[in-house]
Structure 1
C-alpha cells in the first residue's frame, strides 16, 4: 500500500520540511511493508502531538483522514504553513497514482486506499482555499503581500488540479480546468513581476517559494491545451524565470515548452511566444497530438547542426499515444545553445 506520511514537530519546536518519499513500484509489489511501518509510526506521532489538519482513522491505520474542525487559519502564515504540509503529501500521492495512470499498473483499478487518499487531499485543499478566501476578504488592502497571495493561490490550484486528475487516464480531462488555468496565469504574472522587482531592487527580504516560478508556469503550459494560455505561460517563463531554479533550467524549459506548443497546437514559433505560421487556426490538440510526458537526459549533451548552425543540445523524447491507444516516444534533438 502506498501510504501518505506526515511528521509534525512538538509545540515550540522549530518547523522543518519533512519530505518523506512515496512508495516505489517495488514497494507496492511487496505490499509496501517498510512504508507501512513508517506510516504507523508517523500516525502514532500525530495522535500524541495533534495536528491542525490530519488525524488517524483506527479502522484503517494506513490512511490519514481530515479533521475539518482542526483545520484553521487566522493569518496568512497559518494558511501558508498548512499548504506546506499538503504539498509534499500531494507529491507523494501523485507519484503513487502515476503507476495506475500510465505506469506498470495502468490496466488495473486504483486500490481503495489510494482513492481514499485522493478524497482526503481534495477535501483538504478545498477547505484551505475557502479559508484563504475568507482571509482575503477580511484583509483586502494587502499591498506588497499580493505576491504572497498569488503564490498561495498558484500552489493551491496546482495541488487541486494535480490531486483531481492524478488517476485519470485521459489527458483531455484538463480541459475541465480551463477557467482555473486562466486564473493561474493572472497570478503567475503578478508573481513574476514581483520576482523581477526584487531582482532589480534587492531591497527588503526576498520572497521565497516552495515550488518555484518556472515549475508552476511550465505546469500550465504542459497541461492546458488552449494555445493563448500556453503562449502566455511561455512568455512568463522567458520574461520572469531565473536562469536556474533547483534542477529547473530556464533555457531548457523554454525550449521544451516551445516544442510542446508547436507539436500539439500545430504552430511554428519564432523562438519566443510569437507565431510564425499556423496550420490549424483555433486548433485544440487531438488525443493523438497530446504529449503526456517528456524524457530528457542532461548528461547526453552533444553538438549538432540546427538551422544551419552548430549548437549544443540533447536527445529529447515526447511520450504520446497513437490511434489505437499504444504508447510511443517521439524522438527529437533539442538545441540548447550555440557553440
Structure 2
C-alpha cells in the first residue's frame, strides 16, 4: 500500500510517522486535483459576506474538529479541495459551517432553537444541484456532507436514509476511483455502525461494504490497523443486532441460523489476527518513535495515543459484542469482566493525561462527526455488572465524551447508563454518580434484574414533575425479563438537560479557551485590512 504524501517539507508527516521513505504523490491526469495545499483564504464564492465567512470558519475551525480523533484528511483537505470547484460541495460546506457554529454557541446544541436560515438555504441549493449530478463518486462525497448536516440537526431518520443511499451506490458501482475507495469507503464503513444503534428494525441496517477484505501480512501504520478494525467493529455490531430476535424476540428458543454462527466464527478469527498484527505494529512504532514512558505524552504523541486507545478498546468491545450476540441470558457478559476492566484501566490512564491537558484548554467541541469514546463507555457502564467498574465508567463518560458524537448525545447516554445501574443494583446514585446508600445487590445482580436493552426515543420532551419544575428529557424503554422468563419493558422519563454540565467536561479534543471569540476578532480584522 502506498502512503500518500501530505506535502510537508523536507519530508511529510504521513510518511515519516510510519517509518517509510517519503514517496509523495503519483499524479495522473485524472487525479491531478488531489495534490493540494490547504488554503487560508478561499477565492470562489456562491454568495456574499456571510458565505465567505462560513467558508473561512469551516476551513479554520469546523473542518479540523469534525473528524474528532480520526485522520482529518477528508475534512481539511479533500472536502476543501472539492469546494473550490464544485458548487454542490461549497453549498454543503456553508450549511455545515453555519450549523456547526450554531451548535458551538447554543446552550443545548441540536435543539434547533437558533436561526439557521443560511444553513437551510444552502442545504436546499445543494440538494437541487445533486439531483442533476451523474458522477457517482462525487455523489458519495456529497452524501457524507448531507449526513453531517442531518447529524448537526439531530435528524436521525434522515441521516440513516442518506447512509443507506450512499452504501447502495458503493455496492452497485462497477468501478470506483482509487481516491473514493481510499477516502470515502472507510467513512461509509464507519457510518454504517450508527444505523445499527439508532435504526428501528433490520430493514434500516445498510449492508457492510466489502466485508471480506483480505487480511494483510502486517500493518504498516495505524490507518491500516484502523481499516481492518472498522470492518471488524461494524460486523460485530451488525451481528449483535441480527442476534436480537434470538436474545429478546420471538426466536429466543429457536436455533441460530448457520450463516450467523459462521459469521461469529469468522469474527473470532479476525479479532485474534488483528490483535497479533496490532501488537507487532505498536511495538515497532513505539520503539522507533518514542520511549515507552512517553506513550501518552502531549502534542503529536498525544494524538497518536488517542488513536492507539481507540483501536485497542474497539478490539475489546468487538470481542464482547460478537461473543454475546446470541446469548439469551445477560449473565453471559460476566465472563468478560477482565475485558471490561482493561477498558476502564486504559480509559482511566488516558483520562488523567486528558484532565491535565484540559487545565490549559477549557473549551472543547460540542459536536464531532466521527464516533468518539461515549458508546464504548456506555457499553461498559450498562453491560459490565461489577459495580466498581461501572461506577468508574460514569465519570469517564463526562470526562472523555464530546457533547454530541454524530447521533450519540453524551447527556442522554450518561442519564441512561446511570439509570441502568440504579435499576440493576437497586440503588440511588447522587449527582456525582456515587451510591447514596448500600445497594440491594452490591455484587452481580440476578438475571431478572438486568436490563437487556435500553431504547431512547429521539424526540426531546418537556415534563412537569411533582415539584413544579419542567425539565427537558427523553422517554426510555428498559427491556427486562420476569422470573418466568417473559420479556417486558418499562418506560421512564429521564432528564437529559445537562448542557451546562457537558460543557464542563474535559474532552480529549480541546481548543484554546474562547477560541470562537478569538477567531471572530481575527476574521473581522482580516476583512478590514
Q: What TM-score do the two structures reach when normalised by structure 2? A: 0.50
Q: Give the conservation status (yes or no) of the 8 Å contact 1:185–1:232.
A: yes
Aligned to 2:462: 302
1:273-303 CA-to-partner distances (Å, cap 9, x unmatched) read 2221113363321111100111222325132
Q: Gapped runs of 5+ residues in structure 2?
A: 1-167, 363-367, 499-529
Query: Does residue 164 in structure 1 map to residue 332 in structure 2?
Result: no
Query: Does residue 127 in structure 1 map to residue 273 in structure 2?
Result: yes
CA displacement at 1:189 relative to structure 2 = 2.8
1:191-232 CA-to-partner distances (Å, cap 9, x unmatched) read 545666379549xxxxx8953211110010010000000001
Secondary structure of 1:299's counterpart equals: coil
Secondary structure of 1:267's counterpart equals: coil
Q: Give the conservation status (yes or no) of the 8 Å contact 1:174–1:224.
A: yes
d(CA) in 2 for partners of 1:209, 1:315: 25
Query: Does residue 18 in structure 1 map to residue 188 in structure 2?
Result: yes
Aligned to 2:388: 228
Query: Does residue 153 in structure 1 map to residue 299 in structure 2?
Result: no
Aligned to 2:436: 276
d(CA) in 1 for partners of 2:414, 2:486: 28
Q: Relative to total residues, which structure has the larger helix share, 1 or 2?
A: 2
CA displacement at 1:110 relative to structure 2 = 1.0
Aligned to 1:258: 418
Match of 2:227 among 77, 81, 86: 81
CA displacement at 1:315 relative to structure 2 = 3.0
Q: Give the conservation status (yes or no) of the 8 Å contact 2:453–2:479.
A: yes
d(CA) in 2 for partners of 1:291, 1:274: 20
Q: Gapped runs of 5+ residues in structure 1?
A: 28-34, 54-69, 203-207
Name the stretch that deviates more: 6-15 or 223-232: 6-15
d(CA) in 1 for partners of 2:281, 2:466: 52
1:103-128 CA-to-partner distances (Å, cap 9, x unmatched) read 33323211111111111111101110
Q: Give the conservation status (yes or no) of the 8 Å contact 2:385–2:445.
A: yes
Higher Rg: 2
Q: Give the conservation status (yes or no) of the 8 Å contact 1:306–1:335.
A: no
Structure 1 residues 99, 279: closer, same or farther in 2, change over 3 A? closer
Q: Relative to total residues, which structure has the larger strand share, 1 or 2?
A: 1
Name the stretch that deviates more: 264-273 or 116-125: 264-273
d(CA) in 2 for partners of 1:225, 1:210: 28
- Asked which structure has the greater RCO (Cα within 8 Å, sep 6+), the reply is 2
Q: Give the conservation status (yes or no) of the 8 Å contact 1:90–1:159.
A: yes
Secondary structure of 1:305's counterpart equals: coil
Q: Give the conservation status (yes or no) of the 8 Å contact 1:304–1:312.
A: no
1:148-195 CA-to-partner distances (Å, cap 9, x unmatched) read 211111111111111111111111011100011010012223454566
Structure 1 residues 330, 317: closer, same or farther in 2, change over 3 A? same
Aligned to 1:188: 347
Matches within 5 A, 1:89-104: 89-104=235-250
Aligned to 1:52: 214
d(CA) in 2 for partners of 1:99, 1:281: 29
Aligned length: 298
d(CA) in 1 for partners of 2:410, 2:178: 40
1:235-275 CA-to-partner distances (Å, cap 9, x unmatched) read 10122322221222222122211111111112211122222
Name the stretch that deviates more: 318-327 or 135-144: 135-144
d(CA) in 1 for partners of 2:250, 2:441: 37
Aligned to 1:214: 374
CA displacement at 1:88 relative to structure 2 = 2.3
Structure 1 residues 264, 162: closer, same or farther in 2, change over 3 A? same
Name the stretch that deviates more: 187-196 or 270-279: 187-196
Aligned to 1:288: 448
